[in-house]
Structures are given as structure tokens and as C-alpha cells.
Amino acid sequence: MTRPFLSYRRSRFSTRLPLDRRYTEAHFWILPETEGACRVGFTRFATRMLGEIVEFDFELPEGSAVEEGDVVGWAEGFKAVTELYSPLAGRFRGGNEALGDLVGEIHRAPYDDAWLYRVEGTAPDAALDAEGYARFLDSTIDRMMGRAS
């Protein structure tokens, strides 16, 4: 399925940001679904910083109430370990069961079938559209390269 996207390139990093989702400054994407839940996944930038994901787990049982910023689990990549948190308030609806055997897909296809988990709720107003996230990436990459933004 082809969906509209924004092509992004800065320094040696490039990606295609799907226009159908919102993004957070912690490099998660949020995709609303019809049944009132949202899929949550890592952005390509997050997977680049973590390296290939080798293991992950969720600390909350399905159905648990979550607030924006609550830790729901963790992910380990070749380069780093990070906590997974909920970028929205609502109910944790569980992880993507398909990733159990295909954890490497998180790095290869973060915007497709390699979403991480679902939360029943609505993306917060502070979530960025693709253009806003691209501007945020510009300043993030500039800081990493030692340039003022």
C-alpha cells in the first residue's frame, strides 16, 4: 500500500515520514485507528540511534490505565537500551504480537508492520505533524553535529 509521505534528508540521515501519523520529540510515531486505539512505533531516527532492536518487553498488563509519559516497557538495540513510554493517556492495549519472531523488522520497517504497541486514547495536542517533526529533526541533527540551530 502506498501512502503519502514527506521525504526528509539532513546530513547523512534520510527517511520518508508518513503523513498519516503524529510524531513526538522522543521519536515515537502515533497512528490513530478506527476502533479508538492508536498504534505507537519508533521513528526511523529512533531506530538509527538505537541500532537494530534485539529484544523488547512490556511491563504493563493489557488493559492497564496509562498517562502520557508512563513507562510501558523497554527495548534493547545494538547501540542502546531505552524505556518505552506511552506518548498518550488512555489504556494500554498490548504489544504487537507479530514482532515476537520478527524483532529485526523494527529497524528495517518502523512505519509498516513493525509498530510496537497500542494505546486506546487520542494523540496529544503537542504531537507534531510530519512537517513539524522534520523541523525538530533539523534542530536535533544540528545539535548532534555541533552546529547551532
Rg (CA), the chain: 15
The answer to whether residue 42 is domain-embedded is: yes
Q: For the chain, how many structural domains are there in total?
A: 1
Rounded distance between C-alpha atoms, residue 146 and residue 140, angstroms:
10
Residue 135 lies in a domain: no
What is the band of 142 on the pLDDT scale with cuts at 50, 70, 90? very high
Structural domain boundaries, residue 47:
26-122
User: How does pLDDT run across 82-136, given as a tens digit for each residue?
Assistant: 999 999 999 999 999 998 878 888 988 899 889 999 999 999 999 999 999 999 9
Average pLDDT over residues 58-67: 96
- Does residue 80 lie within any of the structural domains? yes
Q: Is residue 19 part of a domain?
A: no
Strand intervals (E) in 1-147? 5-10, 13-18, 22-23, 28-32, 37-42, 53-58, 65-66, 71-77, 81-85, 90-95, 117-121
Length of the chain measured in residues: 149
- Domain-embedded: residue 132: no
CATH number of domain containing 118: 2.40.50.100
Q: Quick check: is 68 in a domain?
A: yes
User: Model pTM greater than 0.85?
Assistant: yes
